[in-house]
Structure 1
Amino acid sequence: MTTATLAPAAITAAGVTRSFGDVKAVSDATLTVPQGSVTALIGPNGCGKTTLMLMLAGLLRSDGGSISVAGLDPVHDSAGVRNAIGWMPDQLGSWDNLTCLQTLTLMGRAYGERKEFARQRGLGLLQLVHLSEFADRPARVLSRGQKQRLSLARALVHDPQVLLLDEPANGLDPRSRIELRQLVRELAAGGKTVLVSSHVLSELDEMVDGAIFMSKGRTLGDEAQAMVAEARGRFRVTALNPDRLTEVLRAWDYAFDEVDGGVTLQISNREHGSQVLTALVKADVQVDSFGSAGSALEQTYLAMNEERR
């Protein structure tokens, strides 16, 4: 996972708040999402992720703070923001009696597209999300995962600059999840900005350029990014002669933690990792595996929740 820091911001929020009666769903959300990037929005259930995304989409008015999406303010130009974004909610609200193609054609028409153009655009999108065989079948026959794919196609109908995806992998089978990752990366490579909320953190690691963490209605800033950086540098090493592995590390005075079948240690960058691996082999350590200790986002999320408790 790399972070794109030089691109201009497509989404910004500063000090955003939103309450529902006595419940403060979002108490202080501040974030920046670079243009042409894929950014994860991560946090436990009830932390305010969906409320924040609804405000970014112009579907819910904030109580305070400022928001800019594609250079537009959702409060003062909600129509402009809705034209600039593609919104994929957690659950697709569909017209069960309309076919998949009719659904996409209708959405295209709602955005001002000519009927034949909207129809051809819909056919292309159904092919993109592997639903071509369902073009003339009603939405009610779709499975949960197929409805998710139709929802993604619907979000792309008007070729938006920004995509807001709320739990897009829900209900998808493994192949569809892989295809979703590939498609999201292709969309970003084409210049679209993607903000994606998901609990499938190991898959997000392979998809995103950066991450924003939320807890109790607040976005976590530099402390969360430092935790991600530390987790990304945590490597797990196993050896066919584990006693020799720990002996060598102790002789080097190299800090490590023993885990089942090996050790974990901190690696600062790829060059450092290559040097450590080479040195271990030269020291007669029969290295069996040498790589990341796991998902950096997952490790950060678990550490964040420990602090929350």
Structure 2
Amino acid sequence: MLLPLPGGVDTLLVLLVALVVEAVVGDLRPVAKVLPGPLPLLARLAGMLDKRLNRIDRTDGARRLRGALVLVALVAGSALFGLAVTIFAHGARLGVALEIAVLASCLTVRRPWVAVTETFGALVKEGAEAGRLAVARITDRQAWSLDLHGVVRVAAESAALLLYRGVVAPAFWYALLGLPGALAWTAVSVAELVIGPDTGRYKEFGRAARLVSRLMGWLPARLSALFIALAALFVPHAKAGPALRAAAREAGGHPLGNPAWPVAALAGALELALAGPRREGSWWCGSPG
């Protein structure tokens, strides 16, 4: 029995329903405790493999090889799981519901919206300290040292980054390759975040994760910037033209890489300064973490 080809009407309809489901009921903590999605499971697995294989007594070459093998294992396992779900879903009566559920678990629509809303509400009602606690949900930055403007900046940056990583990129790869593609991107994205920092003990171990993430995220990052510019047409005081110009002017050589595209577009749309060097407390930051 032939499987439906990705990119068809059925695939796009499933994607639309999954986006709506995640936006409405996503990020429910009681459900996440019982049924964790692929992101926390892959993050936990990547962390375990990092502790076991990324040893300081290994050579740089050995670390690069081991990191690449970890990435291959995560991506291959995720893609094979996605293929198995697709095959089962195609033959089962309620299979489409299972596919929607798995795809929705790869998306991050509700969490950044809720976190940004809570952050601004906390700033207005309770001040910078409450804002720092709220924005910590969607950033790995050192939130304790942020002032009021820093909280707003980090909230905006994090929302743009999550649009790219958690919405556009998995949706793009699902439309292109089905569930295996969406889960493969999720594995690559998680691997980059967990073992991919270009510093310290991860510089060699995470080299493959950084490279594959740049390749897979090249087009989704630019699509994210385009979507932000289009959205600006419908938001009061936001500007679509400056969004596109800022992305084209600033994102190309930015050290942040692919995520610089949506961040630059959002900065241009709202006429803000984002993702530039700044001092926060005792920390010097060249880009958002």
Q: TM-score range by the shorter chain?
A: under 0.3
TM-score by structure 1 length? 0.21
Higher strand share goes to which structure? 1
Higher radius of gyration, 1 or 2? 1
Higher helix share goes to which structure? 2
TM-score by structure 2 length? 0.22
